[in-house]
Amino acid sequence: MILVVAEHRDGKLNRATLETIAAAQSVGAPIKAVVLGSGVDGLAKELAAADVAEVIVADDPSLKDYTADGFVLALEQLIGAENPERVFLPHTYQTRDFAPALAARVKRPLVTDCVAIKSGAYVRPMFQGKLQADIAVEGPHVATFQIGAFRADAMKAGGSAAVKKASLQIDASKIRQKPEAPFKEAKQAVDLSQAERIVSVGRGIKGQEHLQLAQQLAQAMGAEIAASRPICDAGWLPMDRQIGSSGQTVAPKLYVALGISGAIQHLVGMKGSRTIVAINKDPEAPIFEIADYGIVGDLFEVVPAMIAELNK
Amino acid sequence: MKIAVCIKQVVTREWQLRVNDQKTWIRDQDASFELNEPDAYALEEALRLKEKHGGEVIVCSAGPARATQVIREALARGADRAIHVEADSLATADANAIAEALAGAIKGEQVDLVLTGLQSDDQGFGQVGVVLAEKLGMPHATIIMEVQKSDSGLRVKRELEGGWFQWVALPLPALLTIQSGINQLRYATLKGIMAAKKKEIRKVTPASAAPTQRISSIYFPEKGKKTRMLPGSPADAAKELVKRLREEARAL
């Protein structure tokens, strides 16, 4: 049996949960889905519409707001009661916060960020996505699935699974994290999701003084300028220009990646773009896997030539 | 505050990866190595906390002998002393084994705070920090972008997805995994490098931990999408690209 841990925010299941159910369905074993929270009967009903054997509601006032300790306590009890062979979760920031502690608590191996399932092994990226590895695990285990690795629309519906309440004993005094309400930083100045074209720069740009070159290309293309995380971390561009899991998600008509290697955290923010161009000196850069057009070369030679061509 | 910072030595980003003959790990005999980037931010945060609140920064690394390189660097940047849990097997060990090794080193130190990067640039499981918290019995919070000390412990800013954040309070001792970009890194000064030579690096042998998972095969991923590579000189490639973007993709 596979236990899928659902995730939700603002009263809605997130897409990654449906993707994780799709991953579990591809295995072919019976599935139980669990939703944790307080007052989550509606979400349980939604889950029950998926093709799963059973939906478990872990409803407790102490689970109203997510905390790592609360979720570990609840799931430790559930795993003890249900004894699933596998526990599947979406590889979200929330999962990353508690799943390693849960796996250690229940003494099961945890394979994170999986993109495919083989018999006896999980496939996941390593070395920033430059390599892929098959990870073999034996016995009961926990696995998390990369966002977008399985398709939410491939999830089989058609169930009217029974919904049951889990009986939990959660000692709220054992929850050591006290969370405040989530918030967004000051309103973002630029909404890159509306841009038709984006020129995005990564580490390959080497220095802040070279941003001008990318800006000239953006101007010649009628594009907005954006960047991968390290560029914003360094303060070369403001944080609201960042594309990726911690920044904005975009799907423009054209996305030009300059000197971006293509770590998964960046790819999730832009892989829906209609046409992707990658210019990078490393022929093995993962960005080339999702690019429509690729040039292996020095961006400081290629970009000026592009600008000249565009301005002809 | 007495702070332990856990760091890992990883191959440099620029190094051209090659897979070993058994396809179980990279061929890293002639690789160049560096400090795992998120761990560099964790170290910097520890140094800043010490400057503000006083205390001590102990750098801990679980790795083979070559990890001394990044330990020395951390000492040169300002850490006070180091613990090196040394074993060749730690170079490719899973998160559980590394966390076990680090826990053994940290347990006796009575630290107030443990910091580490949110994940490693090599295996990237993103587990060691949180598993270590569990093994040390400490509360934890992950992907942290700001650390404030309060009367009752800490108030930390967690990064959530899509530009959202959340403040979380937790008591000390605690463990935090640090996100890249939380601060601006300092680099070692000549004075720091000289001073580091006199700082203590205590070597520890890890207790053996049975592996819980294994890399059965590591390989270059297949290209999923038909990428049209445009060859030729930069000028030729650029010309061809602009032409195709206009006529084929109709993106310009």
Cβ of B181 under 8 Å from any chain A Cβ? yes
Same domain membership, residue B133 and residue B36: yes
The answer to which of A50-54, A94-98, A147-151, B198-202 has the lowest mean pLDDT is: A147-151
Please count the CA atoms within 13 angstroms of the CA of B139 that sit on its side-chain side: 22
Mean pLDDT over A141-154 rounds to: 92
Write the residue in B17, B160, B212 that is nearest to A182 by C-beta: B160
Residue A187 lies in a domain: no
The DSSP output letter for A182 is: P
Strands across the sheet containing A54-59: A110-114, A141-145, A86-90, A2-5, A31-37, A54-59, A162-165
Alpha-carbon span B14 to A232, nearest angstrom: 20
- The answer to whether A100 and B127 have CB atoms below 8 angstroms apart is yes
Please report the pLDDT score of residue A188 as a whole number: 62
Judge whether B210 lies within some domain: no
Task: Establish if B140 touches chain A: CB-CB under 8 angstroms.
Answer: yes
CATH of the domain at B24: 3.40.50.620
Please list, residue by residue across A253-268, b when 16 or more beta carbons sit within 10 angstroms of its beta carbon and e when fewer do: bbbbbbbbbbbbbbbb
Please say whether the beta carbons of B3 and B111 come within 8 A: yes
pLDDT tens for A296-309 read 999 999 999 999 99
Predicted confidence band of residue A48 (pLDDT cuts 50, 70, 90): very high
d(CA B240, CA B244): 6
Which alpha helices (H) appear in B153-200, and where do they start and end? Answer: 190-196
Sequence letter at residue B252: L
B13 touches A: beta carbon within 8 Å: yes
**Please, which residues 30-89 of chain B have a Cβ atom closer than 8 Å to chain A?**
none
Which pLDDT score is estimated for A268? 87
Nearest CA distance, A33 vs chain B (angstrom): 23
Q: In this model, does residue B3 exceed pLDDT 70?
A: yes
A289 has a pLDDT exceeding 70 = yes
Residue B13: the pLDDT is 87
Instruction: Please check whether residue B168 lies inside any domain of the structure.
Output: yes
Q: How far apart are CA B11 and CA B33, in angstroms?
A: 4
Strand ranges, E, within chain A = 2-5, 8-9, 12-13, 31-37, 54-59, 86-90, 110-114, 116-118, 121-126, 131-136, 141-145, 162-165, 178-179, 183-184, 197-201, 224-227, 254-258, 275-280, 293-296
Quote the pLDDT of residue B134: 98
Under an 8 A CB cutoff, do B212 and A137 touch? yes
Contact B187/B149 with Cβ under 8 angstroms?
Answer: no
User: Do B226 and B191 reside in the same domain of the chain?
Assistant: no
Domains of chain B: total: 2
A208 and A163 in one domain? no
In a shared domain, residues B20 and B142: yes
> Average of pLDDT values for A256-260?
98
The residue that leads in pLDDT, B211 or A300, is A300
| pLDDT at A156 (0 to 100) | 94
Domain match, B190 and B87 both: yes
Structural domains of chain A, count: 2
Q: Which domain holds residue A152?
A: 2-174
Mean pLDDT of the region A229-236: 92
pLDDT of residue B90: 95
**Residue A187 pLDDT greater than 70, yes or no:** no
Which amino acid makes up residue B223?
A: K
User: B226 and B194 in one domain?
Assistant: no
Question: How far, CA to CA in Å, does A193 sit from each of A92, A196, A256, A270, B250?
Answer: 21, 8, 15, 10, 20
Residue B66, burial from CB neighbour count under 10 angstroms (0-12, 13-18, 19+): middle
What pLDDT score was predicted for residue B208?
82
Look up the domain containing B55 and give its range. Answer: 2-204
Q: Which residue has the higher pLDDT, B54 or A264?
A: B54
Model pLDDT, residue A166: 95
pLDDT at position B120 is 96
Q: What is residue A186's predicted lDDT score, i.e. its pLDDT?
A: 65
Higher pLDDT, A183 or A191: A183
Is the residue at B98 inside a domain? yes
Average pLDDT taken over every residue of chain A: 94
| Predicted local distance difference test score (pLDDT) of residue B14 | 85
Please give the Cα distance from A256 to A250 (Å, whole number).
12
Cα A243 to chain centroid distance, Å, stands at 13
pLDDT of B150-205, one tens digit each? 999 999 999 998 788 999 999 999 999 999 999 999 999 999 999 999 999 999 99
Give yes or no: residues B174 and B252 share one domain: no
Q: Measure in Å the smallest separation between the Cα of B199 and chain A Cα atoms.
A: 30
A91 within some domain: yes
Sequence-separated (6 or more) residues with CB below 8 Å from residue A264: A113, A125, A128, A129, A146, A245, A286
Residue B116 lies in a domain: yes
Q: Which residue has the higher pLDDT, B104 or B164?
A: B104
| Within-domain flag for B100 | yes
Assign B89 a pLDDT band (cuts: 50, 70, 90). Answer: very high
Q: Do A292 and B249 touch (CB under 8 A)?
A: yes
Structure confidence at residue B224 (pLDDT)? 65
Which of A176, A233, A245 is opposite residue B139, by nearest beta carbon?
A176
Q: Give the model's confidence band at A28: pLDDT under 50 very low, under 70 low, under 90 confident, else very high.
A: very high
Kindly provide the ipTM of the predicted complex, given to two decimals.
Answer: 0.92
**Arithmetic mean of pLDDT, B132-147:** 98
Which residue, among A3, A64, A6, A76, has the nearest Cα to B134 in the 3D structure? A76
For residue B30, the model assigns a pLDDT of 87
How is residue B62 written in tokens? 């679980």
The CATH number of the domain holding residue A23 is 3.40.50.620
Can you read off the two tokens belonging to residue A34? 């669990």
H/E element, B206: none
